[in-house]
Structures are given as structure tokens and as C-alpha cells.
A and B are shown apart, each in its own frame.
Chain A
Amino acid sequence: MPEFAVELRNVSKRFPGPSGEEVSAVKNVTMQIRDGEFFSMLGPSGCGKTTSLRMIAGFELLTEGEVYIHGKPLGQTPPFKRPVNTVFQSYALFPHMTIGENVAFGLEMKGVPKSEIGPRVKQALEMVRLPGYEKRRPRQMSGGQQQRVALARALVNRPEVLLLDEPLGALDLKLRKEMQLELKTLQREVGITFIYVTHDQEEALTMSDRIAVMDHGVVKQIGLASEIYEEPNCRFVADFIGETNFIEGTVRSVDGDHAEFEAGGLKFIAVAQPGLSRGTSATLAVRPERVRLTHTRPGDTPNAYEGEVRESIYIGTDTRYLVLLSPTVNVRVRQQNTVPVGMPALEGPVGVKVWASWTPDSARILVE
């Protein structure tokens, strides 16, 4: 058994544009998706994630490169002969068929014996917690239920890979959160490789084993959810995933993994992106929750400066602050309200002088 469920090798897709010129949707993308993995393609709209998914499904033909499923190149194989199934953003349930007929469709097309279809449909609907809904029509069901039917209709075929194209996009927030957990559980139960396309970074972080962050048709970074969040390799990833403070400045010196960075007269030590050199203009990225606020100077880190609290917003679980460290450098800080973190006086902190600090390992120096 080859190690990878799906492999994209140097895949490019160009579409004819409106006035004759070619538009590149996907540029030389290489990805390896492991067997049984929950893999997400994440990026803003137009980043090429949906096109990549559609090329795996066979709805779009590749301009260059090749897609492999379990080691077999797919070439020009039409969609109906590929060992994958898709859950569409619009669900795409057949409106003229009952739920049972919808779920049975793929099995019928494959020529599964009639006696086997009934039980498998029943089992698939039980799996998505819709037992006994066979006789209903799609339009009689809510969006969340239709979404589950779409899932059952795809999974009942036991595909080698399940492709999901923003399947939760049309659901309201609460339902979406429920379905995220449900999808993750379901994926673990059935053990099928899921490739999930989304523009919602929180969704990708919640569900995925690994994430590919894409932008303008290019893969920016592939890694575990924690790697993508904690160790972004470029400004785009750091900006797209979660909230980040960006401080513009210059690299002063590089020492192994770390580098000294100067911005607005302040000096910081942080993890350096490989290939940095002295004098390079770069960006320091630090997550708001990695910044500590204290009344006195902390002794354990060189990245500590006294500043003035300019804003303080209480949002329940957290309080957010904006702290001005120098006339040109300010940082957003996020502190959890559960633990007393050395800020006993929360009332009216605007204007208060505090020390903001973070460890060298929790900040990164990035070039574009």
C-alpha cells in the first residue's frame, strides 16, 4: 500500500480568461495527503483550493502535472470512474428523489446487488444520525439535515478519499460548530481520508490533522494545525491564521535559529526564518496571547518593554489590551480572565504603565 492516499505532483491549472488571456488558478502545487488523514486546504476565496479539489474529483482537467490516488496516476479518468466521492457546498441532493434514493444512487450506479443496497443505505443514514429518513424528500429537510444526507450519500460508496468542498458554509454558526465535531468523529470512525476545503481558519484548526494554506494558487505552508499556528513560515500564513501583531523593522544580527531585530528604537530577540541576513527589512510576528503584562519588569526575557495601556476591552473569557511600547510600536495583548496573571487592578487600566514581554521562542521574524 503506498503511503499517500492522494498526491498532487506539480499540478497547475489555467483557465481561459474573459479577454483571451490565461488565468492561473493553481500554480505548480505539490501535496501529499496521507492515508486516513483529515487534510484541509485553507485559504481566501480565489486561492485555488476549490480548483485543486475539483481536479482530484475530475471535474477540472489539469493543465500540467499529475494527481495520484494510492499511487495510481489518474490522467484523464472521468469523474464517474474515480475512487473518490464529493460532498458539495450546495449539497447537490437530487430534488426528484427521496433521501433513500439519493443515498442509494452511487451504489446503483456501481451495480451493487439490490439486496445489499437497502441495508447499506440504512446503515449510512444511521451513521449520520438520520435513521428512518429514507422516504423523505430533500426539500422537507433542514440545511443541516441535507448536509448529513450529502455526507451519507458520499460515504455509503466507501470511497478511497472523501472530498468536501466547504460543506458547512451554508449553515449557521452554532450548527456549524456541532457539525465540525461530528465530522471529525465520523472521519475517525470510518477511517477514510478526508480532504476538506474551507476559507474558515478556525474550522480548519478544529478538524484537521494537517492543513495546507494556499494563496493565489500557491501552497504557502503545509503542516500540523499547531505548526501552522505557532510556526508560520511567512507573513501571509501568520496573518491569515488567527490574530497576530506585526512589527515592521530590520534584522540586526543572526545567531543560529534566532536573530536580533530592531523596530522603532526597540530591540527584540526572536526565531528567525531561514535565510535571514543582517540588514534585511522584515516583520516580527507575535500572537496577542503570547504577550504577558506585568507591573514590574520580568527577569526571564530580553523582550520586555514598559508601555502605556491605550485600550482595554473586556470580552468575557478574555480581556484585550492595546499597549503602546514606543511612539511607533504598539502590541495587541490578549489575557485570559480565569487566571490571575499579575494584573490585579483591572478597573480603568487605560493610561496605566505596564510591562509587556514575550519569550524569544514565541515570536518569529518573517520576510514576505
Chain B
Amino acid sequence: MNILKRLRDKNSRRGLWLISPTLLWMIGLLIIPLILVVITSLGQRDPDGNVIYTFSVNNYLRLIGYSFNAPCGDTPPPCFDDLYITILWRSLVLAFQTTVLVILVGYPLAYYVARAPARWRNLLLFLILIPLWTNFVIRVYAWIMILRSQGVINNLLEAVWPVILPVYTVLYNLILSPLSAFLPLHLSAPGAFQPLEMLYTPGAVLVGMLYEFLPFMILPMYTSLEKIEPALYEAAADLGASAARTFWRVTLPLSAPGIVAGTILVFIPVMGTFIVSDILGGRQVILVGNLIQRQFLDARDPTFGSAASIILMVMTLIVTIFYTRRFGFGEEIASA
């Protein structure tokens, strides 16, 4: 598609007026800032924290492990330090884990809502969306109340501990203790209640991510599932397919566009978010989002922060491109 050729066409030029507000918005607030970020990422920070505009790839080298000034353990600089690579890898893995978990938890729910009687569906969708009325940060903070040592879960466990303890003692003596000779089980012997340390762990971050991003997966999945003509389920049964085979051969393929769309809606923001890991992960779970935030605010090194932003963007882009090449953008292959 030749843009210049299109601009010569009168009808296309008329269309330009319609998109010009969006176009100006995108140029002013996306393209130009992006160019500025790229320029900044190639600069250097002077000792006072000011940006010196050079044309250096040092920030990128630092990100992939090249240490210029700081020693790496006992090795004096320049040396290889995997600190940032670890952070990037952790972010990628967590984004994958979150996406898979959100699909596994969200699909049955979306299916249930889509097959519910029509008069219930809007109410159920409304209930799924209600949490979004509360501020994102507040919702994450709520998980602190649930997960901390003196939180909801631990208090509940402590309250029922007298009941659990005898059962656990029997289990421990009969099965778990002998088993630990063969399996790497790290279990404490039965005794007084010890609060579970759940906060500031990768698990806490995963739970927080799941909670925050679930609606963004459920809505597109619901849309695809709801579009499936009920007669198709009957046709599958009529042709001899059991419920399970109907699911694998008809329901899942026809709802795939919703899963793909939901994956894109969840994976990309999870890759960049820093609030969930900041609040629920503490110093333990640092993601690339936290790295970028700290470079701009605490470390006062916008050049390194910009480089990390660009790397994050490129990583997300690569994964998304691979994914959409394979599965499409979730456009309705199903619609007749």
C-alpha cells in the first residue's frame, strides 16, 4: 500500500481529516517521545545526574551484562554481571506464568457466563468487572492484608491449627517423614503454629497479577464463547462426540480468537507493570518495570532507564510478533 499514492486520491485525503486528531495525538505523545527515549538511551549520565547526549551503546551493554565500573563478585571490572539479564528473564517468565494462569482460571469462568441463561449474563459480567471500579493500587494493597504474617490467611490457619495439627502429625509420621528420605521435601516437624511467609515472594506477585489481569482475559474469551451458536454443540453431540470431545474439537477451536486477544491484552501490560511486584514482591521480586522506575526516580539515571525501556519494548514486540504470526490477532476466524 503506497501512502503517497493514497494521499493523491481525493477520497483518501478526506479520510485523513477524520483520523487527524488521532494522528496528531499519536505523533505528539507516542512517536516523538519514543524518539526522545531512544536518543536518551544512547546518552550518558554525568556525576551530577545530568544527561550528556552522546552516541554510546554502553547502557545496552550494561543491560546484557557488561560491567564497566563495578566489580562482579571478586572479579574486578570490566567483567560480566548477570544482574540485569536475570531481571529481564524473570519478567519474561512471570509474564508467561501470569498469562497461562489467567487463561486456566479465566476460561471456565468465561465459559460458565457464556452458557448461562441470557438474563443472567449481564449480571455475571458486571460482577466480574466490579473490582475494576476500585483503584488498581488499592486492589494490590488489599492483598497485603490477605497475605502478610498477621493477615487473613494466617489468622484463619492459626484459628483452626488445633484441628489441623493432629491430622498433620499423623500424616507427617506415617507418610511425609518416610517419604522425605527419597524426595526433596522440606517440611517442618509438627509443632506450634508458624505463620506462612507468603508476602514478598514470587508467588505473591503471581497471585496479584492474576487478580489484576483476570478481567482482561475473561472479557474477550467470553465474547468468543458467547458467539458460538448453541446448535453447534448439539450438532457435535448428534454426530457422536462426548462432552469432552466436543470441547476439544468444537468449543476450544472456536473460542481460540478470544484466548489470543486476551493473551495480547494480558501479556503486554504484565511485561511492563511495576506496581504489583513493587507492593507484593518488595525487594525480592524485581522486574524490568521496577528497574526502569528506579532508574528514573531513585538512581537518577534516565539514560539507563531509557535503554531498559527500549529493551522491554523490543522483547515484548518479539514475543508478540512470534505469537501473532502463529495465532493471528484474535480476529474472528470463527465468524461465518
Contact = CB atoms under 8 A, between A and B. Distances in A.
Contacts of B235: 86, 88, 92-94
A211 to B, nearest CB: 24
B237 to A, nearest CB: 4
B333 A96 contact: yes
A110 B250 contact: no
Given A95-B336, A139-B336, A86 B238 contact: yes
Interface string B218-252: 00000000000101101111111110010001100
B335 interface: yes
Contact of B232 (A59, A94, A139): A94
Contact of B234 (A59, A110, A139): A59
A298 interface: no
Nearest to B241: A109
B231 A105 contact: no
A257 to B, nearest CB: 46
Contacts of B162: none
Contact of A80 (B242, B250, B334, B335): B242
A90 B229 CA distance: 9
Contact of B254 (A85, A95, A154): A95
Contacts of B245: 109
B253 interface: yes
A36 interface: no
A60 to B, nearest CB: 10
Given A80-B240, A105-B239, A110-B240, A88 B333 contact: no
Best-surrounded residue of B232, B238, B241 (most CB of chain A within 10 A): B238
A110 B249 CA distance: 14
Nearest to A159: B238
B243 to A, nearest CB: 8
A103 to B, nearest CB: 10
Most A CB within 10 A of own CB, among B236, B237, B253, B334: B237
A157 interface: yes
B234 A138 contact: no
Contacts of B238: 57, 79-80, 84-86, 154
A292 interface: no
Main secondary structure on chain B at its contact with chain A?
helix
A81 B241 CA distance: 9
Contacts of A153: 239
B231 A92 contact: yes
A276 to B, nearest CB: 46
Given A79-B238, A80-B242, A109-B245, A96 B231 contact: no
Contacts of B240: 80-81, 106, 109-110, 157
Contacts of A75: none
A13 B239 CA distance: 24
A106 B240 CA distance: 6
Nearest to B231: A92
A340 B110 CA distance: 71
Contacts of B239: 80, 85, 105-106, 109, 153-154, 157
A226 B216 CA distance: 62
Interface string A28-62: 00000000000000000000000000000111000
Nearest to A105: B239
Contacts of A110: 240
B334 A96 contact: yes
A78 interface: yes
Interface of B: 229, 231-232, 234-242, 245, 249-250, 253-254, 333-336
Given A80-B241, A93-B235, A94-B235, 14 more contacts: A80-B238, A84-B238, A85-B239, A86-B238, A90-B231, A92-B235, A94-B236, A95-B254, A95-B336, A96-B254, A109-B245, A138-B336, A139-B335, A154-B239
28 contacts: A57-B238, A58-B237, A59-B234, A78-B237, A79-B237, A80-B236, A80-B238, A80-B240, A80-B241, A80-B242, A81-B240, A85-B238, A85-B239, A88-B231, A90-B229, A90-B231, A94-B232, A94-B250, A94-B254, A95-B335, A96-B334, A105-B236, A105-B239, A106-B239, A106-B240, A109-B239, A109-B240, A157-B240
In the complex, the 10 A-B pairs of residues with the closest C-beta atoms, listed nearest first: A109-B240, A106-B239, A92-B231, A92-B235, A79-B237, A139-B336, A86-B238, A80-B237, A95-B336, A96-B253
